[in-house]
């Protein structure tokens, strides 16, 4: 069975040394008392919960999967899932960064993200149950009426009730404008919903006493397309004013999907049969309201792959130190043993360091983004709030797509470290790969993320957000321009920054003539931007590690990882930029009939 040790040291490095979060929190009235010790204590307890309570469930969930009782429409989750969820609720983990007004602990979001990285390393399938609740919480917190908030938020905060997002239908996923679920207004101001939804994660289960579905549907007089979609809250059991459970609502799980991975999470087909619902936000403004939830969820999907990357790395390292096979090409390293441990082989190290660099770079980016979210919510300074929100809008598709593509690469490389044993279920490595694949798809495929980045976030505002980030890169490059020891990091960073600027301008011109140029370049462009952000954050980390490398082996390992990144992973940009510049013609030339 895979092992997991929470990476507390690297989290602390990112939070305290790179981001200096305690100083940032001091300037926020809401978080002024969140100091280093509080943060470390929370991380330590969260790590224990993830490693001791959740991690042992991951192979069980994969093996057993979920079971639907077709008579009762109830879903049984794998052995142990319910007990662990109970402990999660009792420990108050669901309430960590929720609003104290509704029973939350009011801690910064960046801490919640650390919790979720660790939970996802332990078990992505289990973690999706509380994770989706948190999305429903955020959506109702932002757009719910006072009555809806009073009715749902305390229970979603505690985790006694869980939440879902019901968007996809059989004929539409990416293109929600096509959706057909109908909402009929009732005389009492409520609605009746009828239709079918698919791919509803955690759509039915036995962990919580009630499930709060947030459902997109169409009002009778709604305009066609995406401008005619409204958002509703549809509880499994209708709550009474005192929060006790009333009648069973007409929303049912009709089938479970058989999937490549995340077997422990119930992916449900949901039918709505005149289900009682109340409107969230304004009529026909459902997509905008849902986007609050979706942006949070996109960061959350990034955390899923970060968690998988970290745990796959840890297990591959343990195997590579233990497994004896062949001698090092440069001569025996363990002459007393029948062969050398495979970690002596350069290509095994390439696989390991790929995962390590993607984990450490991903953690830096995810926590940087989460801190921006804290600043956007809780800073006293309006300019700071706005700048943080703009930067976060730019980074969100990168967190989602870059971290999940990297997670796919990293988990597969870590499987490879095990040779044939990696392909065997009992080692657990192949589960990480299977689980990782969905993260590139849901909450907007990575192609959609790339179109969001290049089309909307970059070209859509004439590069203003990108310039905001570019200014940070330039500032850092200028600061370190005279520091000899930093040249190995600052030079490629500055070079890549210039190339991104040039590429963006080129793509802007081409897109002006042919919008297909955006679609042709977007995926490569997003990965180039991902590397720019990683190079920037790694260069900042290197600055700190260079000063402290004599003190502590942690900093020497950090520098070795960063040097590996610049030597072996950053060169991907040479390919990506060429591909992005080669344009739409090689993609569009073939007649559809000839495929």
Binding positions for its own copies, 315-374, rule CB under 8 A:
317, 320-321, 324-326, 328-331, 338-339, 341, 343-350, 352-353, 356
582 binds its own copies (CB under 8 A): yes
CB of 102 to its own copies, least distance (A): 32
Kindly indicate which of the ranges 278-286, 470-478, 541-549, 561-569 contains the residues binding its own copies, using the contact rule CB under 8 A.
Answer: 561-569
Pairing status of strand 237-239 against strand 230-235 = unpaired
State which residue, 22 or 339, has the beta carbon closest to its own copies: 339
Q: What are phi and psi of 106, to 5 degrees?
A: 65, 20
Alpha carbon distances (Å) from 129 to 211, 332, 419 = 10, 49, 33
The answer to whether the beta carbons of residues 410 and 313 sit under 8 Å apart is yes
Question: What pairs with residue 214 in β-bridges?
Answer: 165, 233
> From CA 124, how far away is CA 300, in angstroms rounded?
11
State which residue, 201 or 396, has the beta carbon closest to its own copies: 201
Selecting among 117, 138, 310, 443, the annotated active-site residue is 443
430 binds its own copies (CB under 8 A): yes
561 binds its own copies (CB under 8 A): yes
Give all strands (DSSP E) within 34-129, no chain letters.
Answer: 67-69, 74-76
State which residue, 244 or 551, has the beta carbon closest to its own copies: 551
Alpha carbon distances (Å) from 172 to 175, 181, 192, 198 = 5, 11, 21, 9
> From CA 21, how far away is CA 35, in angstroms rounded?
9
* Interface with its own copies (CB under 8 A), residue from 75, 211, 294, 433: 433
Binding positions for its own copies, 530-549, rule CB under 8 A:
none
Question: What pairs with residue 268 in β-bridges?
Answer: 200, 256
The answer to whether the beta carbons of residues 394 and 469 sit under 8 Å apart is yes
296 binds its own copies (CB under 8 A): no
| H or E segment and range at residue 386 | helix 382-417
67 binds its own copies (CB under 8 A): no
CB of 58 to its own copies, least distance (A): 15
Q: What are phi and psi of 121, to 5 degrees?
A: -60, -40
Q: Which two structure tokens, joined as six digits, stand for 361? A: 């770079």
41 binds its own copies (CB under 8 A): no
Binding positions for its own copies, 461-520, rule CB under 8 A:
514-516, 518-520
The answer to whether the beta carbons of residues 57 and 121 sit under 8 Å apart is no
222 binds its own copies (CB under 8 A): no
* Interface with its own copies (CB under 8 A), residue from 133, 168, 210, 249: 168
The answer to whether the beta carbons of residues 312 and 241 sit under 8 Å apart is no
Q: Total residues contacting its own copies (rule CB under 8 A)?
A: 101
State which residue, 232 or 432, has the beta carbon closest to its own copies: 432
| H or E segment and range at residue 81 | helix 81-90
CB of 350 to its own copies, least distance (A): 6
* Interface with its own copies (CB under 8 A), residue from 3, 20, 79, 174: 174
Which residue is associated with the tokens 């790694």?
A: 538
Asked if 146 is an active-site residue, the reply is no
State which residue, 210 or 404, has the beta carbon closest to its own copies: 404
CB of 10 to its own copies, least distance (A): 12
Which residue is associated with the tokens 């790590």?
A: 47
State which residue, 143 or 356, has the beta carbon closest to its own copies: 356
Binding positions for its own copies, 236-275, rule CB under 8 A:
257-261
> From CA 172, how far away is CA 170, in angstroms rounded?
6
Kindly indicate which of the ranges 3-11, 186-194, 371-379, 446-454 contains the residues binding its own copies, using the contact rule CB under 8 A.
Answer: 446-454
State which residue, 386 or 582, has the beta carbon closest to its own copies: 582
Which residue is associated with the tokens 């920054």?
A: 497
CB of 64 to its own copies, least distance (A): 13
424 binds its own copies (CB under 8 A): yes
Mind telling me the catalytic residues?
A: 443
């Amino acid at each position: 069975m895979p092992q997991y040790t929470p990476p507390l040291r690297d989290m602390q490095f990112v939070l305290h040394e790179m981001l200096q979060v305690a100083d940032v929190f001091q300037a926020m009235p809401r978080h002024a008392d969140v100091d280093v010790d509080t943060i470390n204590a929370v991380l330590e307890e969260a790590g224990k919960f993830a490693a001791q309570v959740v991690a042992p469930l991951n192979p069980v969930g994969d093996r057993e999967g979920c079971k639907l009782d077709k008579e009762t429409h109830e879903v049984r989750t794998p052995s142990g899932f319910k007990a662990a969820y109970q402990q999660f609720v009792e420990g108050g983990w669901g309430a960590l960064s929720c609003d104290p007004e509704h029973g939350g602990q009011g801690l910064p979001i960046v801490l919640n993200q650390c919790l979720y990285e660790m939970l996802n390393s332990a078990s992505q399938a289990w973690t999706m149950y509380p994770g989706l609740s948190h999305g429903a919480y955020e959506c109702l917190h932002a757009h719910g009426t006072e009555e809806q908030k009073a009715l749902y938020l305390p229970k979603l905060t505690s985790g006694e009730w869980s939440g879902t997002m019901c968007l996809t239908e059989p004929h539409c996923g990416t293109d929600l404008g096509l959706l057909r679920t109908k909402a009929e207004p009732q005389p009492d101001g409520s609605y009746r919903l009828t239709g079918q939804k698919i791919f509803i994660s955690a759509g039915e289960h036995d962990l919580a006493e009630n499930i709060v579905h947030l459902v997109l549907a169409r009002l009778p007089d709604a305009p066609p397309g995406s401008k005619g979609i409204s958002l509703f809250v549809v509880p499994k059991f209708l709550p009474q004013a005192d929060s006790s459970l009333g009648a069973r609502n007409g929303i049912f799980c009709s089938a479970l999907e058989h999937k490549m991975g995340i077997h422990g999470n119930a992916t449900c087909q949901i039918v709505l049969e005149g289900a009682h619902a109340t409107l969230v936000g304004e009529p026909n403004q459902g997509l905008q309201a849902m986007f609050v939830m979706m942006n949070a969820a996109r960061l959350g999907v990034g955390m899923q792959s970060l968690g998988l990357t970290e745990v796959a790395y840890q297990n591959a390292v343990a195997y590579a130190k233990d497994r004896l096979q062949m001698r090092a090409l440069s001569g025996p390293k363990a002459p007393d043993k029948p062969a050398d441990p495979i970690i002596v082989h350069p290509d095994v190290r390439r696989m390991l360091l790929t995962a390590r660099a993607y984990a450490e770079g991903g953690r830096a980016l995810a926590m940087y983004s989460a801190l921006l979210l804290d600043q956007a919510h809780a800073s006293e300074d309006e300019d700071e709030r706005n700048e943080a929100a703009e930067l976060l809008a730019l980074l969100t598709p990168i967190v989602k797509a870059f971290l999940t593509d990297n997670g796919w690469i990293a988990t597969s490389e870590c499987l490879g470290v095990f040779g044939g044993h990696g392909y065997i279920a009992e080692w657990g490595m192949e589960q990480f790969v299977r689980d990782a694949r969905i993260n590139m798809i849901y909450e907007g495929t990575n192609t959609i993320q790339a179109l969001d980045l290049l089309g909307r976030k970059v070209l859509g505002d004439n590069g203003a957000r990108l310039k905001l980030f570019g200014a940070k890169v330039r500032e850092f490059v200028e600061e370190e321009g005279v520091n000899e020891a930093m040249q190995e990091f600052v030079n490629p960073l500055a070079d890549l920054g210039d190339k991104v600027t040039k590429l963006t301008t080129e793509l802007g011109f081409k897109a002006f003539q042919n919008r297909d140029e955006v679609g042709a370049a977007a995926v490569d462009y997003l990965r180039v931007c991902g590397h720019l952000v990683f190079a920037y954050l790694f260069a900042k980390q290197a600055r700190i590690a260079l000063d402290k490398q004599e003190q502590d082996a942690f900093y020497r390992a950090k520098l070795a990882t960063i040097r590996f990144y610049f030597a072996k992973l950053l060169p991907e940009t040479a390919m990506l930029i060429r591909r992005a510049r080669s344009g739409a013609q090689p993609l569009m030339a073939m007649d559809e009939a000839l495929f």
